[in-house]
Amino acid sequence: MNKNTATLLITCPDSRGIVAAIADFLYQNNANILHADQHQDAENNLFLMRVEWDLAGFSIPTTDFELHFAAIAQRFNMEWQLKLSQKPVRVAILVSQYDHCLADLLHRHKNGELVCEIPLIISNHRDTEALAKFYGVDFHYVQVTKDNKADAEALQFALFDQYEIDLIVLARYMQILSPNFVARYPKQIINIHHSFLPAFIGARPYHRAFERGVKLIGATAHYVTEILDEGPIIEQDIDRISHRDQVEDLIQKGRDLERIVLSKAVSWHIENRILLYANKTVIFD
């Protein structure tokens, strides 16, 4: 958290002169560029860019950035976001009974691998309460049934507001979110699904993979949309299995994949390395 940088994320129609205009703007305002990456999508005629610079010596106060950058943004019809390293992302983790992804995220956060704040864990079971206490994170039990789902989500919304949450991570949270929930937090919910999407959408994917006799299993981290398990994919990984593996073996191997895939997705989000378009993601190095 010692670094003091700004990151500009840009999406706009592709045209000549965009990179030159941004580079010149930053140079004229004494910015020391640390990272710059870009992507052109010819099919959609889109230009996407991530540029990060050191704020030491930068001549524009970040509070006035929009005013100074407006002319360039209008010229190229940009959608843009400015992210500051000194304002860490505040993360809420939702979990049910399986604790492997939760434990991994908390451990990586404690070790400094995830540079964010994790002030809140919400669960519809009490199984992970002791783990939350061990890591010093506030734990809230919110029971969810088919009859109280709206009230339960209203309580969760209140907690997100209270803790000023920026990102919601579903770490094997075994509940389907309502359309209202998803619409309330667009591009702010990351889920881990225990299959290599688009294969085996929905419940019990390891069991269906076993029944199908697949030779590869996987895990997928994606942003949540109203359509179940079809949001923009952030990261995926796979492991090979054989006829000797039973359902329990698939589940065990899959848990390792789930931990790794989810932690990468969360890390890239909090480091502002992801841009979304056309139900896809661009992950900048």
Where in the sequence numbering do the catalytic residues fall? 229
The pairing of beta strand 189-193 with beta strand 138-141: unpaired
d(CA 55, CA 165): 25
The pairing of beta strand 233-240 with beta strand 216-223: antiparallel
d(CA 172, CA 191): 8
Asked if 13 and 46 count as a contact pair (C-beta separation under 8 A), the reply is yes
Query: 68: buried, middle or exposed (CB in 10 Å: 19+, 13-18, 0-12)?
Result: middle
